[in-house]
Structure 1
Amino acid sequence: MTIAYWCVLIALFLPYVSTVAAKALGGGFTPKHNHDPRALQATLTGPAKRANNAQLNAFEVTPAFAAAVIIAHQVGHAAQTTIDLLAIWFVVSRVLYLICYLADWAPIRSLVWGVGMALIASFFFVSA
């Protein structure tokens, strides 16, 4: 297993960090909320809502990241170190994205999102 593949595993679990944050900030760790967590999500406000939004975005972007890593490995034109570093930086960008979302730093969050998307595209460019 390469470092990049381990980063895919980490990225697959990162949305759940946002889920836990949304529930913790929104008071959702109760039996009542556990029966219908999506109803709780619909009522969230402030930092809890932003954590939920970060969760949704993470679920949206992770498949593209996983595909990019797999394709870069399959094509085989890029050095493994390059693929690993891109993957590490992507995971770092996703952690920063969550921090920016929770802190309500919208312009910085958008910039970090753009960096993450550029990193996904980079897997294709370095493999071409």
Structure 2
Amino acid sequence: MNVFFGLIPDTAASAIWAMVVASLLPWVVSIVAKASGGFKFRDNAHPRDFFQHATGVAARANAAQQNSYETLPIFLAAVITAMLFFVPQSIINVLAWLYVLIRIGFCVAYITNLAMFRSILWALSMACSLMLFYLAIRVSV
């Protein structure tokens, strides 16, 4: 059975693809940060120095990148834990892709300086990961 009108297959591969996309998201946002900040090839020698002096969109995109790296391990561990404890795959897939979509929205909100909306999206993305852990706990009892 496919979830959401066939958009999200109910196979484990779907959750794995969500993990891949979530893992690549910080890299995509780093490209936005570098492009918007005027990053040059010579800046690659000390990219952290470059971002210490970044402002505006470049600084916010860099912060979105850093936050994406900070929440990624929790998400990856949550998906793997849910799979190991046999939470229904269709539920894992929905929460995994929901996390990815919310994180994309989070990055856009961060870059466009929508602070309150960004915070709400951060909380919702964390709720997806925490729900996966909760479901794994419920299944294991």
* 1:124 Cα deviation from its structure 2 partner: 1.5
Do structure 1's residue 15 and structure 2's residue 15 form an aligned pair? no
Structure 1 residue ranges, 4+ long, deviating more than 6 angstroms after superposition: none
User: What's the secondary structure of 1:124's corresponding residue?
Assistant: helix
Unmatched 5+ stretches in structure 2: 1-11
User: What's the secondary structure of 1:2's corresponding residue?
Assistant: helix
In structure 2, the partner of 1:117 is 126
What is the alpha-carbon root mean square deviation over aligned residues? 0.9
Aligned mates of 2:17, 2:135 — CA distance in 1:
19
Among 93, 97, 115, the residue aligned to 1:88: 97
Paired amino acid for 2:95:
L
Among 84, 104, 107, the residue aligned to 1:98: 107
* 1:5 Cα deviation from its structure 2 partner: 1.3
TM-score w.r.t. structure 2 length? 0.86
* Equivalence map 1:37-52=2 (5 Å): 37-52=47-62
Aligned residues with identical type, % of pairs: 36
Structure (1 or 2) with the larger CA radius of gyration: 2
Do structure 1's residue 62 and structure 2's residue 83 form an aligned pair? no
Aligned mates of 2:34, 2:96 — CA distance in 1:
28
Range moving further from structure 2, 31-40 or 63-72: 31-40
* 1:35 Cα deviation from its structure 2 partner: 1.6
Residues 19-60 of structure 1: CA deviation (Å, up to 9, x unaligned): 0011011000x2221221111111100111000000000010
Aligned mates of 1:57, 1:14 — CA distance in 2:
11
* 1:2 Cα deviation from its structure 2 partner: 2.2
Aligned mates of 1:2, 1:112 — CA distance in 2:
25
TM-score w.r.t. structure 1 length? 0.95
Aligned mates of 1:22, 1:105 — CA distance in 2:
17
Higher helix share: 1
Aligned residues: 126
In structure 2, the partner of 1:26 is 37
